A and B are shown apart, each in its own frame.
Chain A
């Protein structure tokens, strides 16, 4: 196993003593197969136990270890050191307040996520004994891609609209998830989500930069979901104008 040494530049911010964030460089001896998260854990275990960062599964499932790595939002567990030079810069995700070091405050996202009612709103609740809600593979296919989101927030970090609107924009992941439930054959909640989706801060704030879909580690394609939701929203608006009404 070949070893190499990297310089890991990490943005530090300790609210009790730092006025503003600053970069601290750590020299890390690392293995060929390491990812950025391994290097951060090495720092935490061997060099500086005060360094704070979120992580959990180490296999791009939990969505906790989103950082900006060399200027690009990435999952720390999916960013292999072999794909980077000997100097790697790790920062917290953009567009979120920094709580401490690489940990960001995600309360705003959680509120936005709740606002789109990301759960099935059935026409009528069935008793458990009445069995499952039946869905064909084709009906599942219609929304499955948009259900793969792990709430890692890389898309919010990459989205300039979210930053430019001072976080007013509902944003890629929440909108993609709203679209996911709207596309679900078991769901009838489109009108209940409409006031969030069709609002100015909803799908119409998206200018289709497309960065969210580029950085998404699960190929959810939030940008595509938002463009489709724009179309649905426009149709809903027009049909309501002539009094036909939507779903």
Chain B
């Protein structure tokens, strides 16, 4: 009997996600959250400008109307939608609701989240005087 000599294959720490389509999608999803974070920063900046006074606020308003900022905002919005969808899709896995011997259908839980999102969005739009 020969001596044992287990062989460990190496895994690249920097390009591991290129080895499978599933991992590429995962990494793109993670990287896209940078846009979401940038957009959050833009909104928070808007709040600070509002606190500073009417001139700063008007300057911020004209800044976000710049075509380049509009394009970036649209990209960020698309990623917001993707992240919302993937988050809601994961909810039934992370939050199972048991009723007796059955679990509440995952589609109902996801649907409930979309309904809550819709209701809250409508509330914000009414509050803003848009709807």
Q: Which residues of A contact B (CB under 8 A)?
A: 13, 15-16, 20-21, 71, 94-95, 97-99, 105, 137-138, 141-142, 160, 163-164, 208-211, 213-214, 221, 223-224, 227-228, 230-231
> Distance (Å) between the CB of A171 and the closest chain B CB?
15
In the complex, are the beta carbons of B7 and A209 less than 8 A apart?
no
In the complex, are the beta carbons of B11 and A209 less than 8 A apart?
no
Which residues on A sit within 8 Å (CB–CB) of B2? 15-16
Quick one: which of B60-74 are within 8 Å of A by CB? none
Nearest residue (CB) in A for B29 is A209
How far, in whole Å, are A178 and B121 apart by their CA atoms in the complex?
A: 39
In the complex, are the beta carbons of A15 and B5 less than 8 A apart?
yes
How far, in whole Å, are A211 and B19 apart by their CA atoms in the complex?
A: 13
Q: List 18 extra interface pairs beyond A16-B5, A214-B22, A227-B93, CB under 8 A.
A: A15-B6, A16-B2, A71-B20, A94-B9, A98-B6, A98-B8, A98-B9, A105-B6, A138-B101, A141-B98, A141-B101, A141-B102, A163-B11, A164-B16, A224-B94, A228-B94, A228-B96, A231-B94
Checking A71, A138, A230 against B100 with a beta-carbon cut-off of 8 angstroms, the contacting residue is: A138
In the complex, are the beta carbons of B101 and A97 less than 8 A apart?
no
A15-B7, A95-B11, A163-B16 known; A209+B93 contact, CB < 8 A = no
How far, in whole Å, are A15 and B96 apart by their CA atoms in the complex?
A: 47
Nearest residue (CB) in B for A225 is B93
In the complex, are the beta carbons of B93 and A213 less than 8 A apart?
yes
Q: CB-defined interface of B1-33 with A at 8 Å, one 1/0 digit per residue?
A: 011111111010100110110110010000000
A160-B17, A221-B93, A224-B96 known; A209+B26 contact, CB < 8 A = yes
> Distance (Å) between the CB of A23 and the closest chain B CB?
13
> Distance (Å) between the CB of A76 and the closest chain B CB?
19
In the complex, are the beta carbons of B9 and A21 less than 8 A apart?
yes
Q: Could you count the A-B residue pairs with CB atoms below 8 Å apart for me: how many are there?
A: 69
In the complex, are the beta carbons of B11 and A164 less than 8 A apart?
yes
How far, in whole Å, are A98 and B8 apart by their CA atoms in the complex?
A: 6
Quick one: which of B111-131 are within 8 Å of A by CB? none
Judge if B38 is at the interface, Cβ distance under 8 Å: no
Q: List 28 A-B contacts (CB under 8 A).
A: A13-B7, A15-B3, A15-B4, A15-B5, A95-B11, A98-B9, A99-B4, A105-B6, A138-B100, A138-B101, A141-B102, A141-B103, A160-B17, A160-B23, A163-B11, A164-B11, A164-B13, A164-B16, A208-B90, A209-B22, A209-B23, A209-B26, A210-B90, A214-B22, A223-B93, A227-B93, A228-B96, A230-B94
Which residues on A sit within 8 Å (CB–CB) of B26? 209-210
Which residues on A sit within 8 Å (CB–CB) of B8? 97-98
A163-B11, A164-B16 known; A97+B98 contact, CB < 8 A = no
In the complex, are the beta carbons of B101 and A98 less than 8 A apart?
no
Which residues on B sit within 8 Å (CB–CB) of A137? 101
How far, in whole Å, are A124 and B64 apart by their CA atoms in the complex?
A: 65
> Distance (Å) between the CB of B121 and the closest chain A CB?
26
> Distance (Å) between the CB of B124 and the closest chain A CB?
28
Question: Which residue, of B5, B23, B95, B100, has the highest number of chain A Cβ atoms within 10 A?
Answer: B5
Which residues on A sit within 8 Å (CB–CB) of B7? 13, 15, 20-21, 97-98
How far, in whole Å, are A214 and B26 apart by their CA atoms in the complex?
A: 13
> Distance (Å) between the CB of A119 and the closest chain B CB?
23
How far, in whole Å, are A142 and B99 apart by their CA atoms in the complex?
A: 10
Which residues on B sit within 8 Å (CB–CB) of A227? 90, 93-94
